[in-house]
Amino acid sequence: MQNVQINNVAVLSGKISDELIFSHEVYDEKFYSFTLSVPRLSGVADEIIITVSEHLLHGKDFNVGDEIMVNGQFRSYNNYSSAGNKLILTMFAKDITKANTCDDESEPYVNEITLNGFVCKPPIYRTTPFGREISDLLIAVNRTYNKSDYIPCIAWGRNAKFASTLSVGDRVEIKGRIQSREYQKKISEDEVVTKVAYEVSVSKIALVEN
């Protein structure tokens, strides 16, 4: 049987960039969320939403600007509203600690994720105007209690070429990083809003034999 505990493993380190706010409650357990800013080597930062249980926060004092390390899983859930169904992506914390080494140039910020799941939509392959190859994938990753997380992934170059050969139902292992990116969405003739998309940027992808 597939070990769902290791299908989805993520580690992030960065700085808390906003206040913790109440997110939701499940079986009398409260959950909170905040944004973790994780700088890339280029200097651009990925702004990742972290969801954490009140039990993990007990006895700990986290403030805006603190450097922390988070271990957990990159999860998805559907947010139903009058505007329609939206896939929400968040890092679900299983362990969270203070980190004091992020300012050391020899210890860069960490952004690592490993997924083991199944292709659940035909890959979308395209090339940029400059000839760079890109493939978009949606991966279903099994979770406990017969749930699944649906994780958008983006592959480049030869990884994109390989991803384009995959079929729905293929099982793959992906290594990469969680990234955020802003995009513009036109909602009327006169109004454009800025939105944020989250996905896994693929560094390695391999077909897993069942």
Is the torsion defined by CA of 149, 205, 181, 65 positive or negative? positive
Give residue 45's pLDDT: 95
Give residue 83's pLDDT: 57
Give residue 160's pLDDT: 97
pTM for the whole structure: 0.90
Greater model confidence, 5 or 154: 154
Tens of pLDDT, residue by residue over 13-46, are 999 999 999 999 999 999 999 999 999 988 899 9
* Residue range 174-200: mean pLDDT, rounded: 90
DSSP 74-98: EEEEEEEETTEEEEEEEEEEEEEEE
| Domains, in order of start, for the chain | 8-108 (2.40.50.140), 113-207 (2.40.50.140)
Tens of pLDDT, residue by residue over 130-174, are 999 999 999 999 998 889 999 999 999 999 999 999 999 999 999
Q: Which of 94-108, 159-173, 175-189 has the highest mean pLDDT?
A: 159-173
Distance CA 172, CA 116 (A): 6
Distance CA 75, CA 56 (A): 18
Give residue 171's pLDDT: 97
Contacts of 128 by beta carbon, 8 Å cutoff, 6+ apart: 134
Tens of pLDDT, residue by residue over 109-130, are 999 999 999 999 999 999 999 9
Q: What is the largest CA-CA distance in the chain?
A: 53
Tens of pLDDT, residue by residue over 39-85, are 998 889 999 999 999 999 998 899 999 999 999 999 998 876 555 56
| 3 DSSP 8-state letter | -
Confidence of residue 3 (pLDDT cuts 50, 70, 90): low
Distance CA 86, CA 77 (A): 8
